[in-house]
A and B are shown apart, each in its own frame.
Chain A
Amino acid sequence: MAKIVVDVMLKPEILDPQGNAVASALPRLGFSFAKSVRQGKRFEIEVEGEPTAAQLAEVEKAAEVLLSNPVIENYVVRVEK
């Protein structure tokens, strides 16, 4: 069964207080690798069989209308095997 994945991220110019909080928690735990952290949402959508082009187009539409708020967020739709 294939999965359609929609990743939703705040636009780069939108302040991300949650990502900032994670970024400041990491060094407190001894992790020093992060220059910055952005936090987002991931939707995993199961479909029967291989996703069709029509299904993907519908998911794109749903991502635009419901899964993301285009005022503050960007999204990417992809298929995961």
Chain B
Amino acid sequence: MRVGVITFPGTLDDRDAARAVVAGGSEAVLLWHADADLKNVDAVILPGGFSYGDYLRCGAISRFAPVMQLVIEAAGKGMPVLGICNGFQVLCESHLLPGALTRNSDLHFLCRDQEIEIVNNSTPWTTSYKAGEKIVIPLKNGEGSFQCDDKTLAELEGEGRIIARYVGQNPNGSRNLIAGITNARGNVVGLMPHPEHAINELTGPSAQGLGFFTSILNAMVK
């Protein structure tokens, strides 16, 4: 299975994301923001970093990159899309996901190992986990506070669209401890912490992030 990993100017985590895709058993296909071609990928990952320098708002400029027009179209047809950290911000700015990521409530850039609970294991990116499973993966961002209006929050809660929550103290002021959400169809997932940095205990706090990448292989093989 071919999983695309998009590099924008300022993206940092594309190499780790591609490595995680391979570790999960799929082929990683590197995509460039200016590409007008998704190279026949079966799924797409928008990795973390500071695309376009986070100018204006995180993800605001990336949304208009040529490759994103194709991603938005493909996501509308059901292609699995995972946005991690800055990728999550891009998905919100693209209106593929509701809400917005704002400045951490204490203003600090956080970089730490964070426990999260996988709440929804029915998306193509989370089937390798058990519902309620707790994993520890890195969280590193300055603008990770998930905000939305009350109506949207009620929808996310009511429709089971919160896919992961922070465990313990709220690290960034996100509403309802939201670490990740999915769209109504369930194919687009945004996640603030970084599973791609936790696929091997030698280089990460755990190997518990690998499940996102084995999930996508299973989802596509079915």
Contacts and interface: CB of A to CB of B under 8 A. Distances in A.
A14 B149 CA distance: 9
Given A14-B147, A17-B107, A21-B107, A71 B98 contact: yes
A71 B99 contact: yes
Given A69-B100, A71-B98, A71-B99, A15 B147 contact: yes
Contacts of A72: 100, 102, 147
Interface string A17-55: 110010000000000000000000000000000000000
A37 to B, nearest CB: 14
A66 interface: yes
Nearest to B98: A71
Contacts of B148: 71
A18 B145 CA distance: 13
Contacts of A71: 92, 98-100, 147-148
A77 B145 CA distance: 28
Contacts of B100: 69, 71-72
A73 B103 CA distance: 13
B60 A15 contact: no
A35 to B, nearest CB: 20
Contacts of B107: 17-18, 21
B93 A69 contact: yes
Contact of B103 (A13, A17, A69): A17
Interface string B163-179: 00000000001000000
Q: Considering residues A13, A67, A72, which has the most beta carbons from chain B within 10 angstroms of its beta carbon?
A: A72
A66 B62 CA distance: 11
B106 interface: yes
A15 B102 CA distance: 9
B99 A17 contact: no
Interface of B: 56-57, 60, 64, 92-93, 98-100, 102-107, 145, 147-149, 173
Given A15-B147, A72-B100, 13 more contacts: A10-B102, A14-B147, A15-B102, A15-B105, A17-B106, A17-B173, A18-B103, A66-B60, A66-B64, A69-B60, A71-B92, A71-B148, A72-B102
9 contacts: A15-B145, A15-B147, A17-B103, A17-B105, A17-B173, A18-B103, A69-B93, A71-B92, A71-B147
